[in-house]
Chains A and B, each alone.
Chain A
Amino acid sequence: MDLTGEYRIAAPREVVWAALNDAEVLKACIPGCTELVKTSDTTMEAKVALKIGPVKAKFSGAVELQDIEAPQSYTIQGEGNGGVAGFAKGSADVLLTEDGEETILAFSSHAKVGGKLAQIGSRLINSTAKKLANKFFDSFHAQFNDEVPPD
Chain B
Amino acid sequence: MYPTKYHKPASIADAVAALNGGDEAMLLSGGQTLLATMKQHLAAPSDLVDIRGIAGLSGISANGNELTIGATTTHAEVAGNVDVRRLCPALADLASGIGDTAVRNMGTIGGSIANNDPAADYPAGLLALNATIVTNTREISADDFFEGLFATALDEGEIITAVRVPAPSKAAYAKFAQPASLFALVGVFVADSGSGVRVAVTGAGEDGVFRHAGLEAALTGSMGDASIDAVDISDGNLISDIHGASDYRAHLISVMAKRAVLSL
For B167-204 the 0/1 string (1 means CB < 8 A from A) is: 00000000000100101000000000000000000000
Interfacial chain A residues near B147, Cβ < 8 Å: 151
Does A127 touch B at the CB level, under 8 Å?
yes
Interface residues of chain B, those whose CB is within 8 Å of chain A, are 24, 26, 33-34, 37, 40-44, 115-119, 147-151, 178, 181, 183, 206-207, 239-243
Between-chain CB contacts (< 8 Å), 21 pairs? A53-B115, A53-B116, A53-B117, A53-B149, A53-B150, A54-B33, A55-B43, A56-B44, A85-B41, A85-B42, A116-B40, A116-B42, A122-B242, A123-B119, A123-B183, A123-B241, A125-B241, A131-B148, A131-B149, A131-B206, A151-B147
Dominant SS at the B interface? loop
A122 and B242 alpha carbons, distance in the complex (Å): 8
Q: Which residue of A lies closest to B115 (CB)?
A: A53
* A120, CB-defined interface residue at 8 Å: yes
CB proximity of B201 to chain A, nearest CB, Å: 14
Q: Which residue of A lies closest to B42 (CB)?
A: A55
Chain A residues within 8 Å of B, Cβ to Cβ:
52-57, 84-85, 116-117, 120, 122-128, 130-131, 151
CB distance A53 to B33 under 8 Å?
A: yes
Is B149's CB under 8 angstroms from A126's CB? no
Contact B43 A126 (CB under 8 A): no
Known A54-B33, A120-B42; 13 more pairs at CB < 8 Å: A53-B115, A53-B117, A53-B149, A54-B26, A55-B42, A56-B24, A84-B41, A85-B42, A123-B119, A123-B243, A126-B239, A126-B241, A131-B149
Question: How many A-B contacts if CB must be within 8 Å?
Answer: 61
Q: Which of these, B37, B44, B181, B239, contacts A127 with CB under 8 Å?
A: B239
A55 touches B37 (CB 8 A): yes
Nearest neighbor of A126 in chain B, beta-carbon distance: B241
Q: Residue of B at shortest CB range from A57?
A: B42
Could you tell me if B34 and A54 are in contact, using CB atoms closer than 8 angstroms? yes
Q: How far is the CB of B161 from chain A (nearest CB, A)?
A: 21
Establish whether residues B43 and A127, one from each chain, have CB atoms under 8 Å apart when the complex forms: no
B40 touches A127 (CB 8 A): no
> Chain A's nearest CB lies how many Å from the CB of B37?
4
A123 cross-chain contacts in B, Cβ below 8 A? 119, 178, 181, 183, 241, 243
Q: How far is the CB of A136 from chain B (nearest CB, A)?
A: 15
CA distance A85 to B42 in the complex (A): 6
**Residue contact B149 to A128, C-beta cutoff 8 Å:** yes
Q: Which residues of B contact A54 (CB under 8 A)?
A: 26, 33-34, 37, 42-43, 115
Cβ-defined contact, A117 with B42, below 8 A: yes
Chain A min CB distance to B50 (Å): 15
Q: For B147, give the chain A residue with the smallest CB separation.
A: A151
**A130 partner residues in chain B, CB cutoff 8 A:** 206
- B122 CB to closest chain A CB (Å) equals 15
A84 to B40 alpha-carbon distance, docked (Å) = 8
B80 to chain A, nearest CB (A): 27
B203 to A: closest C-beta gap in Å: 10
Nearest chain A residue, comparing its CB with the CB of B33: A54
CA distance A79 to B41 in the complex (A): 21
Q: CA separation between A123 and B40, bound complex, in Å?
A: 16
Q: How far is the CA of A123 from the CA of B204 in the complex (A)?
A: 11
The 8 A-B pairs with the shortest beta carbon distances in the complex, nearest first, are A53-B150, A54-B37, A84-B41, A55-B42, A127-B206, A54-B34, A56-B43, A54-B33
**Contact assessment for A126 and B183 in the assembled complex, using a CB-CB cutoff below 8 Å:** no
Complex contact A120–B40 (CB within 8 A): yes
Would B24 and A122 count as touching, CB distance under 8 A?
no
Looking at the assembled complex, report how far the CB atom of A131 sits from the nearest CB atom of chain B, in whole angstroms.
Answer: 6
